[in-house]
Structure 1
Amino acid sequence: MTALVGVVCPGGKQGDCAVWGVVYQISCQACGEEYIGETGRPLHVRIKDNLDGKEKLRASTALGYHRINSHGGEDFAIGVRILGREVQTSARKAPEAFWIYHRGPKVNRKVECLYITRELKPYLSLAF
C-alpha cells in the first residue's frame, strides 16, 4: 500500500491516489466505520478535503462529525479504497448510491444517504 498525506491508498500502484472520477470508501481505522463518496477531482485532493474537516473538528463535515461524536475529539487514522471509476458525474452518482444503500456506512450523514438513494431506490434491488 502507498501512503499519501496520512492516507493509505489501495493497490500499491504508482498513482492510485492521483486518479479522478472515482467512488471511494474511507474507513476509520479506530472503529471500522465507513464513509462512501464520489469525486470528479483527483482522489488525493478530495481526501485532503475530508482530512481537513477531521483535523479542524468541523461538525459540518462527515469525518469531523465522526471524530467529535464517535471518538470524543480524539484523532484517528483512515484507510481509503477505490470502489469504482467513472468520468461522468451522473454515472458516478448511481454507483455511489448503490454502495451507500448496500453497505449502510455509518459516517455518511442520513440526510445525504436519503437524498442519494431516493432517486435510485426503484433500481437498487436490481443490483443486489
Structure 2
Amino acid sequence: MRRAAEMVFGSLPDVRHVCLSEDKGIAQFEAELSAVFEELPGGEPVAVLCDVNGGSPYNTSLRLLEQMGRLETASVVSGMNLPLLLVLLMAEDSGQETVKAAIDGARDSIQMFEPRQEDEDEEL
C-alpha cells in the first residue's frame, strides 16, 4: 500500500508502516509498532490503518495506544484499502472526523462491475 501511495504522492516521510509477516513473530511486530508510536509527536491525532478488525495488528495497536495514553487522539481503522489511504494522505489532518469522512469515501469506492442486462424487447 505504501509503495502504491508513493507512486501517486512521491516520498512519504511522515508515513510509517509495520508489517506482520510469517518470518516475524508478534513480539517483534509489537516492538516495531511501539517504536513507531513513540516517535509520533504527542497530542497530535494519528490514524492507524489495519487490515482486519480484531486481527493482531489491530488489537496490538489498540493496546499500545491505550498504554501510551494516546487512544483518545488516535483513529484505529480496520479494512484498510488504497482509496482510504490516498484520501487520508490528501487530508489536512488526521482527526477523527476526517478519518470518518475518509472511511465513507473508501466504502463508496468498493464496487463490483456488473454487465448490463439487455432487455430482450429493447431495440438497440
Q: TM-score range by the shorter chain?
A: under 0.3
Q: TM-score, normalised by structure 2?
A: 0.28
Q: TM-score, normalised by structure 1?
A: 0.27
Whose strand proportion is higher, 1 or 2? 1
Structure with higher Rg: it is 2
Q: RCO higher in 1 or 2 (8 Å CA, sep ≥ 6)?
A: 1
